[in-house]
Amino acid sequence: MALKQLREMLDRKEISAVELTQEYLDKIESKDKTINSYITVCPDSAIEEAKAAQALIDSGNTSALTGIPLSVKDNICTMDVKTTCASKMLEDFVPPYDAFVMEKLKSQNAVMLGKTNMDEFAMGGSSQTSYFGGVKNPYDVTRVSGGSSGGAAASVAADLCAAALGSDTGGSVRQPASFCGVTGLKPTYGTVSRWGLIAFASSLDQIGILAKSAEDTGYMLNCIYGYDENDATSSKNSSGAYTSLIDSDIKRFKIGVPKEFFGEGLNDEVKTAVLDAVEYYKNLGCEIVDVSLPSLEYAVSAYYLISSAEAASNLSRFDGIKYGFRSSLGEDFGELIKNSRREGFGDEVKRRIMLGNYALCSGYYDAYYKNATRIRTQLKSEYASIFEKCDVILTPTAPTTAYKIGEQENDPVKMYLSDIYTVTVNIAGLPAISAPCGYDKNGMPIGMSLIGKAFNEKTIIALCDRFQRDFKEREAVI
């Protein structure tokens, strides 16, 4: 059910917050052994939170999310609940504070069901690099759920929560949303505070939302956005009222379709479904504008250089001394740190730390990292030019649908290239939403993305909502 429907049911006393929470906990118990979308489930605290929420409902003093059961990605700090980043390095880490978004959810008396599985330290596109085992796609458990917020997407797709918080550094909310047939929103950089989000790449990370619909993502964003003095990159430009344009006339919007997103490497079934979505908007009266993003071919290279450089810096704090995993080997200080990091980090994390340090080394900095920042500036300029001609950009979310587990994980280059359609949004700091627009011959969901101007989430939410209301999904048994 939509979040608004759940809110109405709770307020009309058709179901209690405790009963609703218990339903989700029962589903997690019966179904998640197969999917592995959760790392930590919190049945006792969830029921206590539901009881507190019900007391508020009984008193008539409710907020939008009071009593609504949600899941939270396991790189978002939760006081007194383990936050592992799906890594051996933080296997037993219990934060002494809540992230900004958790403070927001608690102020609304939402119910946290648990912490969802992910790629280790959010590094990966399949949610198979987790120390706690990979996540399986609810549509087909032989396929990946996408990453790095694969557990969050799978928990929504399998009805193991009402909605979920994830994080998006290069498509980590949108790509798993595409693979799992749900809606994923990556807000404008700075709209949602990163305070308490364990950093991967600080200039790219943004907390996002996975839900059943565009309207639900807007409903959630209304509850977690806002300026935070603890986050130096937090913006005061966020406007709120993210569902205010829903049901308005969308014929006035111009939709840009960049040719570079429909070239070589795009699966034919994905291409057809996304172009059908373009035709849908055209038939509604939207003006379709052909646009170009020439620097797309350099985006993946620039993204991985920038993100790996920042990851190498951010992850240097995990040394086995202050907190986190500590090796039992090592005869001196240096050996202890080396062994703790070697044993505590997985292969993908090590790969990116090495790439990042290499790019920042004297002699290579100008050739790699500095050039990557120039491409970043160029991409921002190209997006600004496109938005002079149109209001929204429509693209595929991923070049393919969800692939078989084990099919790409051993080929890092192939895995990295699968991010080509999502990384530019993070590089430019723009908002984007992914939603299902079709299914392939195997019944796997196909995702389309709508990219908006900075701080204009309400437009892409409204356009996406209109599409979803008319989109007739094929039956899929999960």
Of the listed 73, 104, 453, 458, which one is catalytic? 73
Of the listed 71, 126, 130, 148, which one is catalytic? 148
**pLDDT tens-place values along the chain, 478 residues long:** 999 999 999 999 999 999 999 999 999 999 999 999 999 999 999 999 999 999 999 999 999 999 999 999 999 999 999 999 999 999 999 999 999 999 999 999 999 999 999 999 999 999 999 999 999 999 999 999 999 999 999 999 999 999 999 999 999 999 999 999 999 999 999 999 999 999 999 999 999 999 999 999 999 999 999 999 999 999 999 989 999 999 999 999 999 999 999 999 999 999 999 999 999 999 999 999 999 999 999 999 999 999 999 999 999 999 999 888 999 998 899 999 999 999 999 999 999 999 999 999 988 999 999 999 999 999 999 999 999 999 999 999 999 999 999 988 777 777 888 899 999 999 999 999 999 999 999 999 999 999 999 999 999 999 999 999 998 654 343 4
Residue in 52, 74, 82, 78 with CA at minimum distance from that of residue 65:
52
Residues 238/191, Cβ–Cβ less than 8 Å = yes
Of the listed 130, 145, 149, 172, which one is catalytic? 172
pTM of the model: 0.96
d(C-alpha 157, C-alpha 162), whole Å: 10
- Give me the pLDDT at residue 145, please: 98
Asked if 178 is an active-site residue, the reply is no
d(C-alpha 53, C-alpha 109), whole Å: 6
**Packing angle, helices 457-470 and 268-284, rounded to 10:** 100
Asked if 63 is an active-site residue, the reply is no
- Give me the pLDDT at residue 295, please: 97
- Give me the pLDDT at residue 476, please: 42
Residue in 403, 398, 410 with CA at minimum distance from that of residue 435:
398
CA angle 351, 355, 360 (to 5 degrees): 150
- Give me the pLDDT at residue 239, please: 86
Task: Look up residue 91 and give its amino acid.
Answer: E
Asked if 316 is an active-site residue, the reply is no
Phi, psi of 194, rounded to the nearest 5 degrees: -90, 5
Number of Cβ atoms within 10 Å of the Cβ of 95: 18
d(C-alpha 260, C-alpha 293), whole Å: 7
- Give me the pLDDT at residue 373, please: 97
- Give me the pLDDT at residue 478, please: 42
Show the domains of the chain with their CATH numbers: 3-251+466-470 (3.90.1300.10), 317-371 (no CATH)
Instruction: Give the 3-state secondary structure of the chain.
Output: CCHHHHHHHHHCCCCCHHHHHHHHHHHHHHHHHHHCCEEEECHHHHHHHHHHHHHHHHHCCCCCCCCCEEEEECCECECCECCCCCCHHHCCCCCCCCCHHHHHHHHCCCEEEEEECCCHHHCCCCCCCCCCCCCEECCEEEEECCCCCHHHHHHHHCCCCCEEEEEECCCCCHHHHHHHCCEEEECCCCCCCCCCECCCCCCCCEEEEEECCHHHHHHHHHHHCCCCCCCCCCCCCCCCCCCCCCCCCCCCCEEEEEHHHHCCCCCHHHHHHHHHHHHHHHHHCCEEEEECCCCHHHHHHHHHHHHHHHHHHHHHHCCCCCCCCCCCCCCCHHHHHHHHHHHHCCHHHHHHHHHHHHHHCCCCCHHHHHHHHHHHHHHHHHHHHHCCCCCEEEEECCCCCCCECCCCCCCHHHHHHCCCCCHHHHHHCCCEEEEEEEECCCCCEEEEEEEECCCCHHHHHHHHHHHHHHCCCCCCCC
- Give me the pLDDT at residue 290, please: 98
- Give me the pLDDT at residue 472, please: 60
Residues 340/325, Cβ–Cβ less than 8 Å = yes
